[in-house]
Amino acid sequence: MVFSSITFLYYFLPIMLFFYFLVPWKLKNIVLLVSSLLFYFYGEPKYCFLLFFSSIFHYLMGKWIERCSKKKGKLFLLIVCLLLNFGILFYFKYYNFFLESIQFFLPNSFSFLTITLPIGISFFTFQTASYVIDIYRGKILSSKNILHFMTYISMFPQLIAGPIVRYETIEKELKERKLSINEISLGIQRFVIGLAKKVMLADLLGELSQRLSDSAPSFLGLWLRALADTLQLYFDFSGYSDMAIGLGLILGFHFLENFNYPLIARSITDFWRRWHISLSSWFRDYLYIPLGGNRVSKHRYVFNLFCVWLATGLWHGASWNFILWGLYFFILLLLEKRFLFPFLNRHKWFGHLYTGLLILISFVIFNRTDINDLLLTLKGMFGLQSIPFLNREVLFYLKEYSVLLLFSIFFATPLLKIGYKKVQEKKKCQPVLTLLEPLFYIGLFLLCTAFIIDASFQPFLYFRF
Amino acid sequence: MKDKLIVLSFALLLFGFFIVSIFDKDIEISISERRVLATFPTFSKEALWNGTFSDKLNTYTLDQFPLRETFRKTKNLFTSTVYQKKENHGSYIVKDTIFALDYKINEKSISHFTNIITSVQEKYFKDKNVYYSIIPDKNYYAPKGLFPELAYDDFYKQVRKQLPTSFHEIDLRSFLTLNSYYRTDLHWKQETLEPVVKQIQKEMGLNSTVFPSHSTTFFPFYGAYYSKGSNQIKADTITYLTSETIENTKVYNYEKQEFQLVHNPENKSHIDSYDIFLDGATSVLILENEHRRENRELILFRDSFGSSIAPLLLENYSKIILIDLRYFSSQLLLTIPEIDFEKDNLDILFLYSVPIINQSFTLK
């Protein structure tokens, strides 16, 4: 089930919230757990048990790691746990890719399996991994209540598309949390904003990208598609994170921010501080720092960075373009740290342009799983392919989607947020905002509903009867 | 206060729509989309387990959501006014007319089309007068430069090039205008077809006849594209023409094995009011003009456009057999006893519109 569906918004959510707010405190986690499992079951019935058993397994492993008195024993248990955890991830996500890659060198040596990727496996695998590692490190105590732990792993707001929530972030709230009108209202506002990002911007940008992809290639068309893809990915993913954070607030949980206007970054380093923060901080804390971070020799430092970005690329998908995508950032970050930082700090506007351009290219790599297609696109974008500068289709779509693109670029910056804060600070505006804000959010929510419903429009034309 | 208002109104919306959608009666048909809406899916363990139940439930909740049409119109109003988008679901609105954005030549489809009609000609009508005519879609007459359009000259050339020279082409492009088409539909208007009929008669060596003058009009006619306009466009008026010949013509529906009317006004209440003309989509129809002295017959291979022009050719023929190759295989023509393949005065006309030729894989 996705958040931007009628089934979720008008069936699952009201029923879930009704029971959640109706039952006494001690039963709220049960309601949350049952509804989360139903939420997962609805979209992925087969793998519901995988989620269920993964939760129980990590709960037990957490306890054993904590209870084990010997350091080596703790480490052994942790390794076993991580091997199993990432082994499951490898099987579902990377097994066929791995065989496919080996097959390149040894043709017809393997038979592939028909495997469906369980929804959200990359997210809950990383959550469970962080849980056992943090127990091993003594950073947190293992959960004393299996119900709380299973609620943490399967909590529907962040189950299928993140953010990657660490146990320490919501440990206290799993036991005891406060619900206030103010926070529920903030949660609703955040949820509606996220939904609007997804259905009113990202989906239309995706439509533009698809139309450009179906058009004859042209130089401007390829760059326009790169822009549409970048904005779509940002609004889609950050919109989903906003909805997750908003739902968390409605239910009394405070998840950490996952995006902070990444498209206004002044360097690639800055971009990764703002984009998918929960993932980059996960890799920092559980891979980069354990490898030694930057307090090592130069060669080792380069190796550490390489490992992190190879893993980051692979996390996003089992395909060579994702590995290339990760390595692309590895090279850029290395160059920045080694040479570019002083220059970028002195020339801020250049920094924005440079980052924007490199991010556009990065998402071209991200979006093309076919390497030949990727190479052709990159050649075309850099004038190395004999394609026209512009064609009638691109001109048409540019005209049709120009307002949407301008809106999207504007909303990708914090200008609206800054402006709104200034208005909020003015006392005169307070009474007007009190009335306008509810109207705005409700209107926006209804408009989002309209966008979702219109997506079901399937006219049946006479000549295709 | 503000927070209370937000929470209260959000809760009212969620629970309000939830309750209304539970108790609201399901709608069977969407008139604007011309399709049957989804019904509540049948529950089974298997459907639940393999995910088809949830997929169908998603479709059901979308199709049966309260005020669905209003929501759709709101969205389209928003995108057209705020995003300034004139394109909507693959159509484009210019003033009061809706155009379909089909601008790519499908070469494989053209080849399929020409292969089919060539094989029909070679197999059954080797020595007959064979004509073909491509009906341009209304985009041909749309104001230029607003949206990408099909390269019509290339399209026509490709069809010509792939057909044997024995096929005589009747080019209708100069005999139609934008006004010849409904604003909200893809079809041409019967009442505007006089120049087209005259041109066909001229090219096929037929006598010029008096164009029917008696007309019957219905309003509103919501064309196939109407719903994409989301209330921004007025509905069309549909008109059919009658004459003594048309009224006296016997129409035999080969598929249903029964007689029907040339123009059936009752069909105006159909999902597609264009069914007024010869009852709409039908595989084989036999039109017999018993008052015609000269014993000349026409076999018209056609799409939906043919339904409105065929009655206008009745003055020239004693019998017109309409065959729609989307519903009747070209391999089965010998099974139609009404076709006299050996007849001397037999004309063959392949009359197909650009959209069908460009998406011809349904032709058998």
Residues from chain B that touch A43, judged by Cβ atoms under 8 A, are 51, 54
Please give the average per-residue pLDDT across B326-350, as a whole number. Answer: 87
Residue B263 φ then ψ, to 5°: -120, 120
Contact B2 A438 (CB under 8 A): yes
Instruction: Please report which confidence band the pLDDT of residue B293 belongs to, taking 50, 70 and 90 as the band edges.
Output: low
Residues from chain A that touch B65, judged by Cβ atoms under 8 A, are 6, 10, 449, 453
Residue A104's CB is within 10 A of a number of other CB atoms, namely 8
For position B115, what pLDDT does the model report? 95
Q: Which two tokens stand for residue B284?
A: 């084989």
Q: How far is CA B77 from the centre of its chain?
A: 27
Please give the average per-residue pLDDT across A310-316, as a whole number. Answer: 93
Contact A463 B186 (CB under 8 A): yes
Whether residue A465 is predicted with pLDDT greater than 50 in this model: the reply is no
Task: State the best of B40, B52, B62, B277 to mutate against chain A, taking most chain A CBs within 10 Å.
Answer: B62
Exposed/middle/buried for residue B72 (C-beta within 10 Å: 0-12, 13-18, 19+):
buried
CA dihedral sign, ordered A403, A409, A411, A415: negative
For position A461, what pLDDT does the model report? 41
Contact A438 B51 (CB under 8 A): no
Contact B224 A188 (CB under 8 A): no
Q: In angstroms, what separates the C-alpha of B84 from chain A's closest C-alpha?
A: 7
Rounded distance between C-alpha atoms, residue B279 and residue B287, angstroms: 13
Rounded distance between C-alpha atoms, residue A125 and residue A376, angstroms: 35
Contact B18 A450 (CB under 8 A): no
- CA-based nearest residue in chain A for residue B359: A464
CB B333 within 8 A of CB B124: yes
Q: Residue B307 belongs to what H/E stretch? A: helix B306-309
The amino acid present at B161, given as its one-letter code, is K
Percent of chain A with pLDDT over 90: 68
The β-bridge partners of B260 are B251
Task: State the best of A117, A210, A436, A457 to mutate against chain B, taking most chain B CBs within 10 Å.
Answer: A457
Please give the average per-residue pLDDT across A174-202, as a whole number. Answer: 94
CB B113 within 8 A of CB B329: no
Contact A458 B5 (CB under 8 A): no
For position A106, what pLDDT does the model report? 73
Please give the average per-residue pLDDT across A134-157, as a whole number. Answer: 92
CB A305 within 8 A of CB A323: no
Q: What is the tens place of the pLDDT at every residue in B294-323?
A: 688 999 999 999 999 999 999 889 899 999
Residues from chain A that touch B11, judged by Cβ atoms under 8 A, are 17
Residue B117's CB is within 10 A of a number of other CB atoms, namely 26
Average pLDDT, chain B: 89
**What is the pTM for the complete model shown?**
0.86
Going by C-alpha positions, the residue among B236, B227, B324, B310 that lies closest to residue B33 is B227
Rounded distance between C-alpha atoms, residue B37 and residue B31, angstroms: 10
Percent of chain B with pLDDT over 70: 98
For position A321, what pLDDT does the model report? 92
Rounded distance between C-alpha atoms, residue A325 and residue A358, angstroms: 11
CB B311 within 8 A of CB B298: no
The β-bridge partners of A106 are none
Rounded distance between C-alpha atoms, residue B303 and residue B363, angstroms: 10
Going by C-alpha positions, the residue among B89, B87, B173, B96 that lies closest to residue B138 is B173
Catalytic positions of A, written as ranges? 316
Contact A42 B86 (CB under 8 A): no
Q: What is the tens place of the pLDDT at every residue in B229-262?
A: 766 788 899 999 999 888 889 999 988 888 888 8
Helix, strand, or coil (residue B133):
strand
CB A213 within 8 A of CB A222: no
Please give the average per-residue pLDDT across A323-332, as a whole number. Answer: 95
CB A212 within 8 A of CB A224: yes
Q: What is the largest CA-CA distance in chain B?
A: 88
Average pLDDT, chain A: 90
Whether residue B77 is predicted with pLDDT greater than 60 in this model: the reply is yes
- CA-based nearest residue in chain B for residue A458: B33
Q: Does B61 touch chain A (CB under 8 A)?
A: yes
Q: What is the tens place of the pLDDT at every residue in A162-176?
A: 789 999 898 899 988
Contact A462 B224 (CB under 8 A): yes
CB A352 within 8 A of CB A266: yes
Helix, strand, or coil (residue B306):
helix
- CA-based nearest residue in chain B for residue A434: B2
Pick A11's closest partner by Cβ from B18, B50, B304.
Answer: B18
For position A11, what pLDDT does the model report? 95
Rounded distance between C-alpha atoms, residue A163 and residue A157, angstroms: 9
Q: In angstroms, what separates the C-alpha of B189 from chain A's closest C-alpha?
A: 15
Q: Which two tokens stand for residue A455?
A: 């997506």
Whether residue A99 is predicted with pLDDT greater than 90 in this model: the reply is no
Rounded distance between C-alpha atoms, residue A226 and residue A220, angstroms: 10
Residue A117 falls in which region: left (phi positive, over 0), alpha (psi -120 to 50) or beta: beta
Helix, strand, or coil (residue B132):
strand
- CA-based nearest residue in chain B for residue A8: B58
Q: Residue B161 belongs to what H/E stretch? A: helix B152-162
Q: Residue B247 belongs to what H/E stretch? A: helix B244-248
Q: How many CB pairs under 8 A join A and B?
A: 168
Q: What is the largest CA-CA distance in chain A?
A: 76
CB A259 within 8 A of CB A241: yes
Q: What is the ipTM of this complex?
A: 0.87
- Least-confidence region, from A214-223, B86-95, B134-143, B187-196: B86-95
Q: Does B272 touch chain A (CB under 8 A)?
A: yes
Strands B346-353 and B87-88: unpaired
Residues from chain B that touch A449, judged by Cβ atoms under 8 A, are 65, 71
From chain B residues 146-205, the ones with a CB under 8 A of any chain A CB are 147-148, 185-187
Contact A461 B34 (CB under 8 A): yes
Q: In angstroms, what separates the C-alpha of A40 from chain B's closest C-alpha?
A: 11
Q: In angstroms, what separates the C-alpha of B298 from chain A's closest C-alpha?
A: 23
Rounded distance between C-alpha atoms, residue A400 and residue B86, angstroms: 7
The β-bridge partners of B100 are B91
Contact B14 A441 (CB under 8 A): no
- Dihedral of the alpha carbons of B37, B42, B47, B53, in degrees to the nearest 10: 40
For position B5, what pLDDT does the model report? 92
Q: What is the tens place of the pLDDT at every residue in B182-192?
A: 999 999 999 99
Percent of chain A with pLDDT over 70: 97
CA dihedral sign, ordered A56, A57, A58, A64: positive
Q: What is the tens place of the pLDDT at every residue in B113-159?
A: 999 999 999 998 888 889 999 999 999 999 988 888 899 999 999 99
Cis peptide before A163 (omega within 30 of 0): yes
For position A160, what pLDDT does the model report? 82
Specify the residue for token string 């395909």. A319
Please give the average per-residue pLDDT across A42-53, as a whole number. Answer: 87
Residues from chain A that touch B225, judged by Cβ atoms under 8 A, are 459
Residues from chain A that touch B58, judged by Cβ atoms under 8 A, are 5-7
- CA-based nearest residue in chain A for residue B15: A14
Q: Which two tokens stand for residue A415?
A: 């200008």
Helix, strand, or coil (residue B260):
strand
Q: What is the tens place of the pLDDT at every residue in B209-231?
A: 889 988 899 888 888 888 777 66
Whether residue A462 is predicted with pLDDT greater than 50 in this model: the reply is no
Going by C-alpha positions, the residue among B218, B217, B303 that lies closest to residue B269 is B218
Q: Which two tokens stand for residue A364?
A: 């071209």
Contact B58 A392 (CB under 8 A): no
- CA-based nearest residue in chain B for residue A216: B104
Specify the residue for token string 């909020």. A424
Determine the Cα angle at B88 with ends B82 and B89, to 5°: 145
The β-bridge partners of B167 are B130
Please give the average per-residue pLDDT across B323-340, as a whole number. Answer: 87
Strands B346-353 and B129-135: parallel
Q: In angstroms, what separates the C-alpha of A16 from chain B's closest C-alpha?
A: 11
A96 or B19: which carries more pLDDT confidence? B19
- CA-based nearest residue in chain A for residue B273: A462
For position A113, what pLDDT does the model report? 74
Quick one: DSSP state of residue B229? G
Q: What is the 3-state secondary structure (H, E, C) of chain A?
A: CCCCCHHHHHHHHHHHHHHHHHCCHHHHHHHHHHHHHHHHHHHCHHHHHHHHHHHHHHHHHHHHHHHCCCHHHHHHHHHHHHHHHHHHHHHHHHHHHHHHHHHCCCCCCCCCCCCCCCCCHHHHHHHHHHHHHHHHHCCCCCCCCHHHHHHHHHCHHHHCCCCCCCHHHHHHHHHCCCCCHHHHHHHHHHHHHHHHHHHHHHHHHHHHHHHHHHCCCCHHHHHHHHHHHHHHHHHHHHHHHHHHHHHHHHHCCCCCCCCCCHHHCCCHHHHHHHCCHHHHHHHHHHHHHHHCCCCCCHHHHHHHHHHHHHHHHHHHCCCHHHHHHHHHHHHHHHHHHHHHHHHHHHCHHHHHHHHHHHHHHHHHHHHCCCHHHHHHHHHHHCCCCCCCCCCHHHHHHHHHHHHHHHHHHHHCCCHHHHHHHHHHHCHHHHHHHHHHHHHHHHHHHHHHHHHHHHCCCCCCCHHHC
For position A84, what pLDDT does the model report? 93
Q: What is the DSSP string of B31-98?
A: TTTTEEPP-PPPP-HHHHHTTHHHHHHHHHHHHT-TTHHHHHHHHHHHHHHTS---EETTEEEETTEE
